[in-house]
Every structure is written in structure tokens, then in C-alpha cells.
Amino acid sequence: MAICASCGQENPEGARFCNACAASLDASPVEREQRKTVTIVFCDITGSTELSESTDPEALRGLLARYFARMKGIVESHGGSVEKFIGDAVMAVFGVPVTHEDDALRACRAAVEMRDALPELGIAGRIGVNTGEVVTGTEERLATGDAVNVAARLEQAAQPGEVLIGVETLRLVRPAVRVGEERGLDLKGKAQPVAAYPLLAATGELERSFSTPMVGRGRELQGLRDAFARADADRSCQLFTILGSAGVGKSRLAAEFFAGLESKVVRGRCLSYGEGITYWPVVEILKQFDALPEGDAARPLRSLLGETEEPGSAEEIAWGFRKLLELEAQQRSLVCVFDDLHWAEETLLDLVEHVADLSRDAPLLLLCMARPELLERRPSWGGGKWNATTVLLEPLDADETEQLLSELGEIPPELHDRIVQVAEGNPLFLEEMLALVRDSGGVEVEVPPTIQALLAARLDQLDPAERSVLEHGSVEGRTFHRGAVAALADGGAEVDGRLVALVRKELVRPDRTQLPGDDAYRFRHLLIRDAAYDGLPKATRADLHRRFAEWLQQHGEDLVELEEILGYHLEQAARYLAELGDADPQVADQASEHLVSAGLRSLWRGDVRAAGALFERALSLTRPHRLDVHLELELATALSGLDVQRAVAVAEAAADRAEQSGERPDELLARTVAAAERMEAGDCGADELEQLARSALPLLDAAADHAGLMHVWRALADVANMRGQFEERTRAAEQTIRCARRAHAQEVGLFDLHWSLLLGPRPASKALETLDAFLPEQPPPGPLACRAVLLAMLDRFDEARLLAAAVDEHTRELGHAGGSGDALSEVSLLAGDEARAAEYLRSYCEYLESIGALAELSTYAPMLGRVLCTLGDFDRAQLLAEQGRELGGPEDAMTQVLWRQVQASVLAHRGEHSAGERLAREAVAIADGTDMLWAQGDAYRDLAGVLEAGGRREKAIAAWREALRRYEHKEIVPLARKVSEQLAVLQEPI
């Protein structure tokens, strides 16, 4: 009784497959449609016309028969197959039906033998050889693709008795052949010349060599253990990064470290689905903990887990994740692993560095594994940090290679040296080579010259049903689920048995499931997944990606990153269909919808890079068949903080398309956003922007386009800000928020409503009332900091100090070194504690300078100078005034007022009363041109001080009264009280 090679069950029939499996097999290897990398050989007789004229038809027929038979025999002796005879030409393919690891070299050997055999037959010929991807197993049973066409053109370009090979073939066989000088051929259908090389001889075997010396693993393992010991002893966070190419042993080194470890280990891996899936590894890690931290730190983590609709910002997520790791590590030492970090989004890399830089009093090892490409994106990764170590794994040396071979199992002695020679210390090469030997029954096989050829050869040896499981799993990714494979196979009766067989063959292994109630498997190496996926025709990939998305939508409701994953798979389907000339707008729109949803979530949590990438992917799918102005403007908004010029270009291009299609509301909306971005870049005036915005308002209002109205009101808020009209800016911000809520959009930072309320003319009590009405349930730090200052204005210092301190602590927890020093300084000033205010401002200015925020520094530097004047440090104050003047833009009213105030006070202190009064009055005039009551009051108060220093008592009293009027109107109670006291002193009889 035989065992079925597919399901492993007893087969009474004695055949290789039982009846059920035989019926379920898609096709034989020859008949299955696949994409494969093959090498094609074209051979043609030269002078065939003259030959037919000079040869008897019967003799010619016999000659051609011998020619075809000889060519066919040579091809097959080298493992190739003759696809067809065309007239007197022969087309042969190496790699069909079965791939060999050295197909390109086999083809070259066959071509040389064919060339040498032609004179023996009494004929002359020419040969072309080319390597590339083709589709095989079609109804015509022929390999098709550009690689075939190029091979035919090479044959036509060859001289009689010559073999021409293409550059891809030469790349695979260079160590084993001898060629002539490169030739640039102008081939039909090719825009650029195609390189070709005369093949002179096939001289030997393929060999591999590495330019870098082999190193062992002992030093790296000890370094890893030392880093963990430092973390444990110092109760510190250590960042240890293992870099290495695919298969070199990163995971093996980590596993050896874990083997003797009693501490808790949590792991997450980055996906290669493309930009946008930022927090997948974080979510994986979160699910490995029993509980989340208490308090506010849990909120952003719950948003990642889908337990709350309220999104957390990137900074809050990093802070919450750090707090969770610290909490766990305080119980016992913790190892947190990030695998495949070279695929991480920038925001995730920021998160890892945030944890490494800011974790305190908790023994924590961050173990990162990545390919060397990580350093191309982050050249300074780990550099300069006392708690960071980076190691680069190179191939195993000879002794370690022998040790690994002995652990992997018995090797046929006759294959030992070849395996060692080709693998050259790469553990993946060694493991897959031995697996291939075992799968082939230990008989002699050609040793693969590259890992790609090795994997292709191994997959070709699988039963078709097992390979189909791998191919269906590869559509989901490196980790895949049993249910998905069964669904894509249109029935999973035999899937379990085939998965067991694949586990036994060490192609996949069981993995942690992402979907409750389902089993997950993981390709042992990403390259195995890639080899399986690459073999699928694009039409099949498109269909499988679409069907997988349908399946996942029904079974993956609990996946936090569901929108990103659905968008990716539908995007792949849409792109493959478009490449095949069968574009499906409906599939493209479905993909775009999911990508936009994911992009909005990234934007709401402040991950603008990921949001921009997701929006761009969505637009690349929809732009060919329709205009989506709102999505174009979401992209412009995301780009605004990264590349203003690109944001302008996106918005203007959308406006041009809307104009061409006659959509006037959309055109004006897009032009308004473009103008707002141009104003940010200093290329547009407030008048131009206002005119566009007010032209767009009635049209968008009539269309009830709340999302569009949100953009327009935001632009009008920018206009008011530019003019220093903060009550108008407040009203515009309120309208922006209302439109955002009607459009179900995120209120990013309350659109700076809080700053408008703080600086504008609305009395502090009314401003506080307005702010509280608009604050969300979990307010961001900025609005809360302004709320603390408003409380201080109203003389509610106990509340103000508590809130400002809490906001400062939270802001620093999020990784901002400056904290809320601006709010703390304002509260201290209002309380009359100038010394403490100066300390807060000095620290905040240093922070702004360190991050290059020069526009903000231009305001806060003279603000510090003004406080130093009250403390008598006029020399330092003058330097800060000059800094503000140099850095501040002419349209920045606040900065222009402040540096003049400080310089006026310095001049008055030096006795230069006339010059001081001139600058002080300039400050008053600029402030009076705005509605910033607080700034006006301060300007008049400083003018009064200058006038008083110059002995002009009556004019000083008038200035003090003007300051008091503004402070009282704004309800700045502490300052109004101080000014009243000063007036009382000045008005006493002399």
C-alpha cells in the first residue's frame, strides 16, 4: 500500500496521488501557467535560401531532419527543452518545465556545442542566448515575454558561426565563460542599444566570492549579552542592532541569545506591504502583554488596538509605548525585539529612538534586526549614544560553516565541497542547499550559484498542490493564515495535510495568529515567499489579491491596521490589471478608499509622512479616471509641513484639472489652498488669499461642501493671523472647527483656536469659556497650556500652576525637551516672579535654537530680553533684542513689537531717552495696528517706563492709563492690579 505524496494518507490504489488529490491538482508543472526566469536559445541556419536552391528537396529534408535531431539532442542533454521549430530555426528553453539552479550556464554550454556541431552537419548557423522572465504553461505551451524576443533578435544579429549572449545571461555565468568585446545592438522595438557579448567558450563551473572577510559570531553574541547585563545592572535601556544581509544569521544569533535567557521577550516585525503600516510591530508587541499601563499613557495604545475611536498622536503613542515597556521592565528585565526594521516607517524609527533615549529606571534591551539598508535611511542610527551598539554580521568562517553543516544533518560526501564552496558562509544558502538535497533523495544535483536560483529549483521540485499552497500563502505575505489559503484554493479539504508537509520540509513553520480561531504559518525565509509569489502570473496575482481582500474583510475585523492591509491588496490587484491593459476603475476606487481611510488616521495622529505616502498611493489609483479634489487637498495638507513647494504644486494641479472640467467650486477651493501654501512660503499676500477664499465661500456653502469650507475658513484664519487680527482669526478658527465636525474630519490642534483666544481681544473669562466649549475629551497639550495662562490672567494661580506643570511634564514625556516653558514663563510673569520666568524662557529659547525653530526663537528671545530688563540685566537683554530683530520677519507683528520694547528699555537705562522713546512709540504703533490687547498693554507699559526714566511724568501717567485700559478690557487681573498701584503712586502729590 502506497502513501499519497500530497496528503500523506494511505493510498490503496498504489499510485503516487490518491484519487481525491489527483482530482484537486491544478495541473502538471508543464501545464501550470507561471512566471519564471528562464534562459532562451535561438539557433538558425544561415544561407538557407542558397542551400535550398542548391540541394535536392529530398536531401534537404534529410539534412534538416538530422539538424533538428542533433540540436534537440544537444539541448536535452543539457537539461533544456525544445519549445518549437520555426522554419529552419530552433527555439529552446532552459528552466521549463523544471528550473535548475544553473540554467543559464547549461544554455551557454548547449549553445557552444550546437555551434560546434553545425559544421559537422555541413551547414552554418548563428545562435542567440538571453535570460529573463517569461510566462510559461499557457494554452500554446510556449514561453512568452520580452526575453524571448530579445533572444531571437540576438540570433539575427549574430554572425555566421557566432553565439551572442545577453547581459543578464552573462551576469549569471561570467565566472564560467569566456566572451568577446561588448557590442551595442540597435534592436527592433528597443529604445536604447542592447548589450551583447560573443560567447567564445564555456570554460568551467560557477563560483562565488565575497569581498569582505568572514567573521565569527562569538564576539557579537558576547556583545549582546554584555548589553543585556548593562541594562540589568544599571536599570537602563540598551539599544542593540544586528545588521546583516538576508540569510546571514541575524535570527540565529538572536535565538542563541534567547536560549539562555529567563527574562520576558516580546517581538514585533515590520511588514513589507509598503508605506503606511506604521505601527504593526507595536501592535504585535502590545498583544503579548497582559495589561496596559494605567492612566493617560494607556489611551494612545488603546487607539492602536482599536479599543477607542479617538486617535493618539505619534508622540503620545511613543510615550505610551515607552511607559508600558518601563512598567513591564520594572517587574523583571525585558527584551523587546523589532525584526525587519529596514522596512519600518520613519515614525516607527522615531518611536524606537524615543524609547532608547528617554527610558529611565527600567532594565530594558531593545534588540533590532535589519538589513544594512537601514543605515542608508538612518546613517546615524545608534551613533554617538552611550547606550547603543550596532554590529554587522558577515559570512561564517570555515570552522563555523562546518559546525553548522554538522548540525543540519548528514551530507553526501560527494556534495560536501560543492555546497561549502557555493554557500560561502551564508547560513540560508547552507540550509536551503541541504533541504534541496534531502528533497531530491540525496542524489547528485547541480549546486545553485545564487539563492534565487536555489529557491526556484527547490519550489519546482514540490508537488503542484503543495506549491499552490505556498503561492496562495505568499499573496498574504510572509505570515499567512490557513483560512486564507483554503479560501483562495476554492476549498480547503486538503490544505491541512499540505501545510503539514510543508512544515516537515521546513519551507514554512507555525506562527502566532493575527486572526482568532485561525492557524497562522510563516515562511521560513522571506526569499522563499518571494520565489513562490514571483512565479504567479500577474493576472493570477491580481485575482488572488482581490479575493484575499474580500476574505480578510470578513475575517479580519479585529485587525487594527485592517484599512492599510485591505488597501495594499486591492492596490496590488488594480496595478497588475492596469499593467495588463485591463484596468478596473472599481477595484482602483475600492483600494483608494481604504488607503485614504488609513491616511486620515495617520494624519490625525500626526504621522504626516505616512499620511502623505498613503494619499499619494490612493491618488495614483484614481487620477487616471477621475478627479478627487478633496483627496488632492488632503495630500497638500500632509505635504505642507514637509515640502511646501510640493504642496503648492499638488493643489495647483488639482485646480487646473477642475478648471478644465468646468468645476468652478472645486477650482476655487484648490486655488485657495494653493495660495495659502504659497503664503506660507512667502510667495502670496494676504489680500490675494482673502479674495480667493471669499470667492469660494458662497459656492462651497451652496454645495454644503463642509470639507471644502474647512479648508477655506482655515485660509481666512491665516489671513487674519498675518494681519494680527486675532478676533477675526478666532471666528475663522471656530468656523473651521464646526465645518470639520460636520465633515467628520479631525480637528488637528483645534486649528490654533487657543492662540487666537489668548492673544486676541476677547476678555479672558470669555476666551476661557470659548476654549472649554471646544476642547475635546482628551485635549492636546497646546490648548491646555493656553488654558493655564488664561487662568493666570484671571488671578486663579493655584489652578494655573498645577495645569501648566502637568502640561509641561506631559510634553516632556512626549519627547519635547522644551516642555511647556512658554506657558510656565507666562504664568510666572503674571504672578510677578520674573526670576523664575527668566529661567523658563532661557531654557525654552535654548530648546528652540537646538531644533532650528528660528521663527519662534525670534519672538521668544526678545521676550526673555524684556524679562531680563526687569531684573537689571540690560547687556544680555540688548543681545536678545538684536537676535529678535535679525531673525524676525517684517510681517511678524509680535516680534517687531517685542524687540523694539526691549531696545527702548535698554536705551532708557543708558540715558538715551529720546532714542528710547522713539522705539517705544514704534512698538506702540505696531501693536495698535493689531487687536492683540495684551501686547498693546505691554507696549504702553514699557513706553510709560521709558517716559518715566526720562522725567516725563505726565506723559508716563497717560501711557500707564492706556496700558490699564487694555489690561482691564482683556481681563488680565494681575497686570491691571500692578498698573493701578503704579498709577496711584505716580498720581500722589509731589
Cβ contact 821:847 at 8 Å = yes
User: Which pLDDT tens digit goes with each residue over 88-106?
Assistant: 889 999 988 877 767 888 8
Would you say 399 and 376 are in contact if contact means Cβ atoms under 8 Å apart?
A: no
pLDDT band at 215 (very low <50, low <70, confident <90, very high): very low
Higher local confidence (pLDDT), 377 or 540 = 540
Is the predicted pLDDT of residue 10 greater than 60, yes or no?
no
Say if residues 428 and 527 touch (Cβ distance below 8 Å).
yes
Q: Is the pLDDT reported for residue 18 higher than 80?
A: no
What are 160-188's pLDDT values in tens digits? 999 999 998 997 888 789 999 999 988 87
Write b or e for each residue in 449-458: b if 16 or more Cβ atoms lie within 10 A of its Cβ, otherwise e.
bbbbbbbbbb
Residue 953, pLDDT > 50, answer yes
- Please report, as a single letter, which amino acid is at residue 350: D
Q: Does residue 14 surpass a pLDDT of 50?
A: no
- Residues 842-870 have pLDDT tens digits of 999 998 888 787 878 999 999 999 999 99
Cell numbers linked to 678: 504659497
pLDDT for residue 118 is more than 60: yes
**What rounded mean pLDDT belongs to the chain?**
86
pLDDT band (50, 70, 90) for residue 385: low
pLDDT band at residue 981 under the 50/70/90 scheme: very high
Euclidean distance between CA atoms 644 and 704, whole angstroms: 29
Q: Find, among 590, 578, 584, 522, the residue nearest to 553 by Cα.
A: 590
Picking from 260-274, 446-460, 711-725, 747-761, which range would have the lowest pLDDT averaged per residue? 446-460
pLDDT, average across residues 13-37: 50
Q: What is the model's pLDDT at position 138?
A: 54
Do strands 125-136 and 264-269 pair parallel, antiparallel, or not at all (unpaired)?
Answer: unpaired
Which residues, at least 6 apart from 3, have a Cβ–Cβ distance to it below 8 Å?
9, 10, 11
Query: Phi/psi of residue 198, each to 5°?
Result: -65, 125
**Contact at 8 Å (CB) between 489 and 469?**
yes
pLDDT bin (cut points 50, 70, 90) of residue 7 is very low
- Asked if 903 contacts 881 with a C-beta cutoff of 8 angstroms, the reply is yes
* Model pLDDT for residues 730-772, shown as the tens digit of each residue: 999 999 999 988 988 876 667 889 989 999 999 999 999 999 9
Q: Which phi and psi (to 5°) does residue 770 adopt?
A: -65, -45
From 712, 716, 699, 649, select the one nearest 678 (Cα to Cα): 649
Q: How would you write 45-62 as a 3-class SS string?
A: ECCHHHHHHHCCHHHHHH
Strand partners, 2: 11
- Number of neighbouring beta carbons within 10 Å of residue 112: 20
pLDDT at 436: 64
* pLDDT of 30 above 80: no
Tell me the pLDDT band of 251, cut-offs 50, 70 and 90: confident
User: How many other C-beta atoms are found inside a 10 Å radius of the C-beta of residue 403?
Assistant: 12
DSSP secondary structure of 127-180: EEEEEEEEEES-TT---BSHHHHHHHHHHHHSPTT-EEEEHHHHHHHGGGEEE-
Summarize pLDDT for 529-565 with one digit per residue, the tens.
888 998 899 999 999 999 999 999 999 988 888 999 9
